[in-house]
Amino acid sequence: MGNIAVDPTTSLLFIDFTNGAALHLSGTAELEWVTPGGPGDDDGTGRRVRFHPEFTSTNRLALATGRDVSYSPHNPALQP
């Protein structure tokens, strides 16, 4: 979060590891302070990030097959 406070330039990269499709978003982000546990709060932290995309790009990546890729043990659990 400190990085965004210092430099709001941000990028997001979404990769579909099954087919190599990629979506790249770049733009700016701002850190917003909200009531902890209130609407839009990120996991009860009292803050949220609002992303403002300015550029989008889609492409295909040359990736190893899906069986060679695994999820990071540091990712939070998926919510239903």
Cα torsion 66, 74, 8, 61 to 10°: value is -10
- With tokens 């949220």, the residue in question is 48
Q: Assign 66 a pLDDT band (cuts: 50, 70, 90).
A: low
pLDDT of residue 56: 93
pLDDT of residue 41: 77
CB-based burial, 55-78: b 16+ in 10 Å, e otherwise:
eeeeeeeebeeeeeeeeeeeeeee
Dihedral sign of CA atoms 44, 72, 30, 25 in order? negative
pLDDT tens, residue by residue, 17-59: 778 888 999 999 998 888 888 877 767 788 888 999 999 999 8
Q: Are 48 and 11 in contact (CB under 8 A)?
A: no
